[in-house]
Amino acid sequence: MTDQLPPYTPSRETSSYNPATVPPPLPSYPASAHRSGSDLGPPSKTLATWALVLAIIPIPLGNLVAIGQAVQVLLRCRDGRDHGKGLAIAALVIAPLWLVAHIALIASALTGQADRDPGGAVTARGDVSVDSLMVGDCLPKVITERQVQRTIEVVPCSDVHWGEVYANFDLVKGPFPGNAQVERLADGGCSKRMERVEAEAPTGSTLEGFILYPVKETWNVDRGVTCIVVTEAPSTGSLRDTES
């Protein structure tokens, strides 16, 4: 007789379960994009400092950059932290003042330029560069000092004046021969041309000559000589029929 095993009955281990001992699930919250002040790092005043520095320096481009940087700083301060608000406000005050000053200087320079008619005669008092002086231009001031002239004032010859341009000519080409040689050549050229001025001047007139000649720094771009006759007393009108 064959032994038979009892039928297999699956078994499971059991344990007691007390719902009171299981912790409740943690509440969940939606993710937030908000960052606290500590997460943003410390506030920076570098941009504000640069804005103030550029605002103080009287350079138009730098002043414009300073205004832009100051505006950026004020926008950053909207997060409630001080990124240099005081420095930015100071830059916004100083930079526009420099810009106004630059504009005023430019306007003054433009209005200070002499006006000429289509024929080249001066019609309004003002300054001209020495290399643009023309025969017949009249000068309101006595020239006595030996110095480098970049600009010079001219007036219509109907106004009271002391001097008048009577000739222009260029020196020979070549390397700069030295100040003494340039002065000698300029003086010789103007003296020869002065003879006709003296011949046509009113009898008893006392005339002196003054010369504008090139210097070493401008020799490569300007070798012109300007001859000016100066009277002992101010006058009106032209001393002579001028020639080039």
96 pLDDT tier (thresholds 50, 70, 90): very high
**pLDDT of 130:** 86
**pLDDT of 244:** 38
Report d(CA 156, CA 204) in Å as an integer. Answer: 25
Q: Kind of pairing, strands 138-139 and 126-129?
A: unpaired
- DSSP conformation class of 153: E
Burial class (CB in 10 A: 0-12, 13-18, 19+), 203: exposed
Residue of higher predicted confidence among 135 and 26: 135
Residue of higher predicted confidence among 172 and 42: 172
pLDDT at 189 over 50: yes
Task: Tell me how crowded residue 12 is: count the other CB atoms within 10 A of its CB.
Answer: 4
Residue of higher predicted confidence among 166 and 106: 166
Strand partners, 153: 127
**pLDDT of 64:** 93
**pLDDT of 241:** 45
Q: Domain segments of the chain: what residues?
A: 43-109, 117-235
Tally helices (H) and strands (E) across the chain.
Answer: 4, 8
**pLDDT of 12:** 44
Please give the mean pLDDT across all residues of the chain: 79
Local structure of 193: helix, strand or coil: helix
Task: State pTM to two decimals.
Answer: 0.51
Task: Tell me how crowded residue 207 is: count the other CB atoms within 10 A of its CB.
Answer: 15
Residues 32-88 have pLDDT tens digits of 444 544 455 567 889 999 999 999 998 999 999 999 999 999 999 888 888 899 999
Residue of higher predicted confidence among 21 and 219: 219
